[in-house]
Structure 1
Amino acid sequence: MNFLLETLQLILMSIYYNIEAFVRLFIPFKKKNVTGEIVLITGAGSGIGRLMAEKFASLGVSLVLWDVNQEGMKETARLVKEKGATRVHYYMCDCSDKAKVYRVADQVKREVGDVSILINNAGIVTGRNFMDAPDSLIEKTIEVNTMAHFWTYKAFLPAMTANNHGHLVSVASTAGMIGVNGLADYCASKFAAIGFAESVALELLATGKDGVKTTIVCPHFMNTGMFDGCNSKWPLLVPVLDPDYVATKIIEAILTDQVYLLLPKSMYILMGMKKSDLLPRHARRIVTPFQHSEVVTVHAQTAQYSHTHW
């Protein structure tokens, strides 16, 4: 009898959450008030990190910016102050270094307070075929794109769970949901980041910490310069995205406690097709919306290697 009840519950809850997710595509939920929250953004010295900081500037939050690019952070701080932010703090931190993350995190807690919205945004890409990528760059990709999330969660999640209040945001990629030619290490790191974020989200629910919200962001490639040489097979259906649009959508997802954000919206359909057992193996390659040219200019536009060319 328990089996039948549990099966029925699973079916009903699946239907409910799928309907809820479908409705969210067209009718956004009420936005929450984040005034007074402490928002930490990694990779805030440039790119999408800077844009998110600018969009938070008018929402009454305290902004904490992390990057290894001191000048980039100063410029971001200047821009967000121009847009109305009154409480802005920035710290140099290599998020791939566990000891540095813990040290700077303690400094933030002392000088600013407990972070209540953590946005893991920093990421790097080698842009080389797997056998051509140096071991050191593969290791660094995993350290920045995946392991850094472990250390920032370890540093800031305890206060969130103690208060049963907070928000964890993982800026991943659709390349963390579908393999891309020439980006094996990047895809692996983003797959891992998504799996990690999903697992922690389930742990929070299982332990009754439903006040700590989670959002996993999976955008298609953006024209930030990080993926020069990569383009879309179908630019009308799956365009290379404008960073400002992506930043706007991420902020909206945070304010409405959206669990998953795929961009553009057509990716929801493509991911469903890709994961469907109805598609034969060779047909799944057709669903991959990415093209990767032989010559790629890669910009490490991140908290770790801002505007460094490989």
Structure 2
Amino acid sequence: MSFNLQSSKKLFIFLGKSLFSLLEAMIFALLPKPRKNVAGEIVLITGAGSGLGRLLALQFARLGSVLVLWDINKEGNEETCKMAREAGATRVHAYTCDCSQKEGVYRVADQVKKEVGDVSILINNAGIVTGKKFLDCPDELMEKSFDVNFKAHLWTYKAFLPAMIANDHGHLVCISSSAGLSGVNGLADYCASKFAAFGFAESVFVETFVQKQKGIKTTIVCPFFIKTGMFEGCTTGFLPLKTGLLIADYLGILHAMDGFVDQKKKL
């Protein structure tokens, strides 16, 4: 009986949040939110060498931002750098960084501060997926999932948030996942790491609110599985609906960044 009550409570909470989000979307479809001017903002994107990170970099390039691109893949990151310049960016800086290594994150962060300046928009986008069932997944791969998908957020926030607070100006963006909201078969470690990233980012949002740090904005994004290579071959079946992968070029996140919202936002 207790289990049924808890399940019913969770269902009603989910439906309530869904209804609220739907109403919010309808309201802002009629009354557009004010857009945030990101021209000249120093935007750091982790995992910029491919996929969603590259698409975000190109969008911010078109909006006139100063780009700081991080990726473990030097070749892919430099390709994104080249594409960003072609898209209109006048200042682009590419750094090779393994976000799973705390010391490496701090080292490259110090380099960015000296060579570029204080990061004002931080987008934690880097992510990996093992795609193995829990008992088939090697321990080291599960640890890597947490290092990249979650722990990297801790180190980048520690590196760049103090300057944002000092300047009373900054925006923290967490690219979580729909898998950070609900468990998925065969993605136990990935879901857990994305749940952790979501919880951490939400906690930081609450901290900034309680401490009245009004100049610090936060955004949590939970996209569905994206057709960028990470989830190649993945399909999902929901009754009565069956859905495939989102086409990255048409992701709502890109349109959201085009009208980057100038307010605290929790999705």
1 CA distance for matches of 2:157 and 2:26? 30
In the superposition, relative to structure 1, how do residues 41 and 180 fare at CA in structure 2: closer, same or farther (>3 Å)?
same
Specify which of 96, 104, 119 is matched with residue 100 of structure 2: 96
1 CA distance for matches of 2:51 and 2:266? 21
1 CA distance for matches of 2:58 and 2:106? 26
CA shift for structure 1 position 224: 1.1
Amino acid at match of 2:110: D
Q: Secondary structure at the match of 1:248?
A: helix
Q: Secondary structure at the match of 1:32?
A: coil
Aligned to 2:231: 227
2 CA distance for matches of 1:98 and 1:80? 27
In the superposition, relative to structure 1, how do residues 152 and 139 fare at CA in structure 2: closer, same or farther (>3 Å)?
same
Aligned to 2:34: 30
Aligned to 2:199: 195
CA shift for structure 1 position 66: 0.2
TM-score w.r.t. structure 1 length?
A: 0.75
Aligned to 2:260: 254
1 CA distance for matches of 2:214 and 2:255? 23
User: For residues 254-301 of structure 1, what are the alpha-carbon distances to aligned partners after superposition, in whole Å with 9 as ceiling and x for unaligned?
Assistant: 34546244xxxxxxxxxxxxxxxxxxxxxxxxxxxxxxxxxxxxxxxx
Specify which of 61, 68, 74 is matched with residue 64 of structure 1: 68
Specify which of 173, 182, 188 is matched with residue 177 of structure 2: 173
1:101-250 alignment, distance < 5 Å: 101-233=105-237, 238-246=243-251, 247-250=253-256
In the superposition, relative to structure 1, how do residues 26 and 182 fare at CA in structure 2: closer, same or farther (>3 Å)?
farther
Q: Residue 36 of structure 2 contacts residue 259 of structure 2 at CA under 8 Å; is this kept in 1?
A: no
Q: Secondary structure at the match of 2:195?
A: helix
2 CA distance for matches of 1:195 and 1:161? 21
User: For residues 103-149 of structure 1, what are the alpha-carbon distances to aligned partners after superposition, in whole Å with 9 as ceiling and x for unaligned?
Assistant: 10000000000000000000001000000000000000001000000
Q: Secondary structure at the match of 1:228?
A: coil
Which structure would you say has the larger RCO, counting Cα contacts within 8 Å and 6 or more residues apart?
1
Amino acid at match of 2:33: F
CA shift for structure 1 position 244: 1.5
In the superposition, relative to structure 1, how do residues 145 and 93 fare at CA in structure 2: closer, same or farther (>3 Å)?
same
In the superposition, relative to structure 1, how do residues 54 and 148 fare at CA in structure 2: closer, same or farther (>3 Å)?
same
In the superposition, relative to structure 1, how do residues 205 and 21 fare at CA in structure 2: closer, same or farther (>3 Å)?
farther
Amino acid at match of 1:161: I
2 CA distance for matches of 1:26 and 1:45? 36
Q: Secondary structure at the match of 1:149?
A: helix
In the superposition, relative to structure 1, how do residues 196 and 22 fare at CA in structure 2: closer, same or farther (>3 Å)?
farther
CA shift for structure 1 position 20: 4.9
Amino acid at match of 1:190: K
Q: Residue 38 of structure 1 contacts residue 116 of structure 1 at CA under 8 Å; is this kept in 2?
A: yes
Aligned length: 246
1 CA distance for matches of 2:178 and 2:140? 24
2 CA distance for matches of 1:169 and 1:73? 20
2 CA distance for matches of 1:193 and 1:224? 20
Q: Secondary structure at the match of 1:219?
A: coil
Amino acid at match of 2:160: F
Specify which of 78, 84, 90 is matched with residue 82 of structure 2: 78
1:287-298 alignment, distance < 5 Å: none
2 CA distance for matches of 1:43 and 1:97? 14
Q: CA RMSD in A?
A: 2.1
1 CA distance for matches of 2:173 and 2:258? 12
Amino acid at match of 1:212: I
Could you list the runs of 5+ residues in structure 1 that have no partner in the other structure? Answer: 1-13, 262-310
Amino acid at match of 2:246: L
Amino acid at match of 1:259: K
Q: Which moved more, 1:229-238 or 1:171-180?
A: 229-238
In the superposition, relative to structure 1, how do residues 150 and 143 fare at CA in structure 2: closer, same or farther (>3 Å)?
same
Q: Residue 39 of structure 1 contacts residue 62 of structure 1 at CA under 8 Å; is this kept in 2?
A: yes
What is the percent sequence identity of the aligned residues? 61
